[in-house]
Each structure stands twice: as C-alpha cells, then as structure tokens.
Amino acid sequence: MARRRAGLSQRELARRSGIPQPSISRIERGLGSPTVNTLERLLRTCEMELEPVDLPGEGDVDWGRIRARLRMTPDERIRAAAADWRRLQSRRRRARRFVRDYRTEDRPALIALMDAFGEELATMDSLRRFIRADGYGETRVQVMLAEASKVLVAETGGRIEGFGVASLHDRSGRELVEVPPGCTGRITELYVDPRRRGRSFGWAILDALEQHLRESNCDVVRIELFAANRGASRFYERAGYEVRDIDLFKVL
C-alpha cells in the first residue's frame, strides 16, 4: 500500500531501497515476514516511516474525556451525552448522502480499493494463507459483480471512498433439516479507504446494505472476518452483530 501511494513499481522500489524485488514481492503477498530493518528501509524509500500506535481497545480509552465528564453535574453530563448523540447522527446523515449504487465507470476505482483491501487482509491472516496475487482486485471485482445482489459505493467529489457488497442466499433443499426456510443475506465486502475512516462511511454503507437485505426479505445477515481483524469486529459489534461461528484451522 505504501509503495502504491508513493507511485513506485516493485522494480523501482527495489532499485531505490536496495532490497531485491523478489523479497518485496513475497512481503507484499504475505509470504514473508520482513525484519524491522527491511521494513523501515522500504517505508523510508516510500517517504513514510514506521510508527508505533496503540491498538484500539483498552489503550484507546480517552481518560481525559472521562475525567472531564466525571467533573460535570449529572445534568451537564446528560446534555453532553445528548450533544454527542446529535453529532453522531448528523455525521451519519451526512455520510448516508454519499452512498449510491455502483456504476460501470466506478470499476477502476473499485479494483484499486479491492487491491488495497487485499493488502490489508494479507496482514491480518494469522496463518498467512491469504495471498494477494497479481490481478487480485480485478478478479475479485469480476466475481463480486457476478454474484452480488447489491454493490454500493460512497463517493465524495468524484472520489470513491469505500464500497460494500451484499448477496442473497435462499435456504432450501437439504439445508431445511437444520434451518427454517428463508433468505440469508451476506455482506461479502465492506471497505473504506484508510484515509477516510472514522467518518461514518462504513456505517452508512452497512446501513444501506442492511436496508437492501431487509427489502429482499432476509431474516439474518452473515459476515465472515479474520479473527485478527479486531477493528472490523468492533465496528460490527457496535452495529449489533454477534459472533456465532468459529472457523478453526490447522496447518498440516
């Protein structure tokens, strides 16, 4: 992702950083784990640097804000909570206005976002089985368009900031010995450009996809995530999802 943002080819990055191109290719496909030194050299060549950040979670708690709230009278606290709620609602309404159906001319932007999504997924797969091979974005977008019941994008000022995809699964045949008939909705992709996160685009796309699934008479929605994708887990938990299945893997 850093390389793409710097507008460098693998070959150019290899030339400038002195790290062989096959190594860069392996790192990008999630097949190799670079040393900190190598990673720093690659990032510096892309004019970026490695920066330690707190993981979202416990360390993410804004104690200053909590202390400020505790100093308030109960009345002030209620007013502050109501103001937060109004701000959130207005941010969500704004984001919702940018969500629209996919159009053919969005394809190149979607492929680029899908490639970036693949790069993130490769870093989240604890078993490193996920490889983002060349042509990943293009092929995934092709499959997605063929199978989806809905593809939405969030667009601001001509830029595609994120996208989401849903599909329908009618429960039928032998399945009916263990589940009642009906329609299961799946959200197969949801991605927001990392530079645009935290502005409710994710929420707005998810909300619009859920609305589509409700209108298609689905009674449940399913989403699969890598266990290491803690950010997305929290995002979905906040949106009312709960963990039901656990997918176990062992490398043989």
Ligand X SMILES: CC(C)(COP(=O)(O)OP(=O)(O)OC[C@H]1O[C@@H](n2cnc3c(N)ncnc32)[C@H](O)[C@@H]1OP(=O)(O)O)[C@@H](O)C(=O)NCCC(=O)NCCS
Which segment (24-32, 136-144, 188-196, 240-248) binds ligand X by CB under 6 A?
Answer: 188-196
Which segment (64-72, 172-180, 212-220, 223-231) binds ligand X by CB under 6 A?
Answer: 223-231
From 198, 245, 250, 252, residue interacting with ligand X (rule: CB under 6 A): 198
For residue 136, state whether it binds ligand X (rule: CB under 6 A): no
Residue whose beta carbon is closest to ligand X: 202
For residue 2, state whether it binds ligand X (rule: CB under 6 A): no
Residues between 57 and 76 with contacts to ligand X, criterion CB under 6 A: none
CA distance 50 to 40: 6
Task: Please report which residue ranges of the chain form alpha helices under DSSP H.
Answer: 2-6, 10-17, 21-28, 36-45, 63-71, 74-97, 107-124, 136-147, 201-215, 230-238
For residue 120, state whether it binds ligand X (rule: CB under 6 A): yes
From 28, 119, 155, 189, residue interacting with ligand X (rule: CB under 6 A): 189
CA distance 143 to 150: 13
Which residues make beta-bridge pairs with 187?
A: 166
183 near 171, Cβ under 8 Å?
Answer: yes
For residue 191, state whether it binds ligand X (rule: CB under 6 A): yes
137 or 202, CB closer to ligand X? Answer: 202
Nearest CA to 190 out of 169, 158, 213, 215 is that of 213
For residue 163, state whether it binds ligand X (rule: CB under 6 A): no
Amino acid letter for position 246: I
Query: Quick one: how far is CA 171 from the chain centroid?
Result: 27
**Shortest Cβ distance from residue 214 to ligand X (Å)?**
19
For residue 199, state whether it binds ligand X (rule: CB under 6 A): yes
Chain positions contacting ligand X, by CB under 6 A: 56, 88, 117, 120, 189-192, 197-203, 223, 225, 229, 231-232, 234-235, 238
